Amino acid sequence: MKATHVIVEEIIKKSPFLEEALAEGIINLSSLSRQIKPEIDEELQKDVQIGAIVMALKRLSPKFDPNLKIRVKKVINKLGDITVRSKITYYTFANSDTIIDKQAVLLKGLKGKKDTFFAFTQGVYETTIILSDSEHSDVDNIFRGETLIQDTSGLSSITIKLPSENADVSGIYYFILKKIAWEGINISDIISTMHEFTIIVDDEYIDRAFSILKNLNKNI
């Protein structure tokens, strides 16, 4: 039979948020113990005392590299401009033999339209097109005959310019996305290049998401 501290460690490792909160010392151990007690009792088939769980949590030392935090902070402090775009629609089509040709037609039509937001992602079975609403009619015409799985409008994008050293430091995207997730903001998609990072969110979240990203360097 597993020991209490082993079960506690397994539970904590299933949740990166809990693991990091413990490492930061910002979580109430008694409250957390009461929350995870039913799962521990069920696993061990006995009534485990809250004090034993608290002791197991105190003994648990989540992996936490202070040097990594310092490196992440240096990159975060060098983040560049933040650009917000609104009136964006998210299209998902089933892949087909003709989908790439139609993407080429759409791209040709977008040539020179610097104010238009667009991004393409092709998966194994689906292709996603994220595009400004101003091009809605072109999508309808060009992709007629393709299988539209879903289209979602009322979206906005936030793009952050990243410093050149971001590629050499692990955890940058995690740090950014963690702040968004903690605020309960759903991300519809993520788009990245070497020096840009873009998230797509519902219009209702755009102000909160922008505020979080603008103040990243104050929260690390």
H-helix segments, 60-203? 66-76, 99-110, 136-142, 172-182
Is the model more confident about 22 or about 212?
Answer: 212
Q: How confident is the model at residue 13 (pLDDT cuts 50, 70, 90)?
A: confident
pLDDT digits (tens, 9 = 90+) for 61-111: 555 555 666 777 777 888 888 999 999 999 999 999 999 999 999 999 999
> What is the span of the domain harbouring residue 32?
4-64
Of 64, 96, 114, the one marking the end of a domain is: 64
The closest of 160, 210, 121 to 201, measured between CA atoms, is 210
Place of tokens 């102000």: 207
Q: Are residues 184 and 92 in the same domain?
A: yes
- Over pLDDT 90: what percentage of the chain? 50
Q: How confident is the model at residue 220 (pLDDT cuts 50, 70, 90)?
A: low
74 within some domain: no
H-helix segments, 82-168? 99-110, 136-142
Q: How many CA atoms lie within 13 A of 4 on its CB side?
A: 19
Q: How confident is the model at residue 151 (pLDDT cuts 50, 70, 90)?
A: very high
27 within some domain: yes
94 within some domain: yes
pLDDT digits (tens, 9 = 90+) for 188-206: 999 998 889 999 999 999 9
77 within some domain: no
Which residues contact residue 135 at a Cβ distance below 8 angstroms, ignoring those fewer than 6 apart?
Answer: 106, 109, 110, 116, 118
Q: Are residues 91 and 136 in the same domain?
A: yes
Q: CA-to-CA distance for 169 and 215, rounded, in angstroms? A: 20
Of 64, 90, 112, the one marking the end of a domain is: 64
Q: Are residues 102 and 15 in the same domain?
A: no
Is the model more confident about 2 or about 206?
Answer: 206
Q: Are residues 123 and 210 in the same domain?
A: yes
Q: CA-to-CA distance for 120 and 16, rounded, in angstroms? A: 30
CATH number, domain containing residue 104: 3.30.2130.10
Is the model more confident about 155 or about 6?
Answer: 155
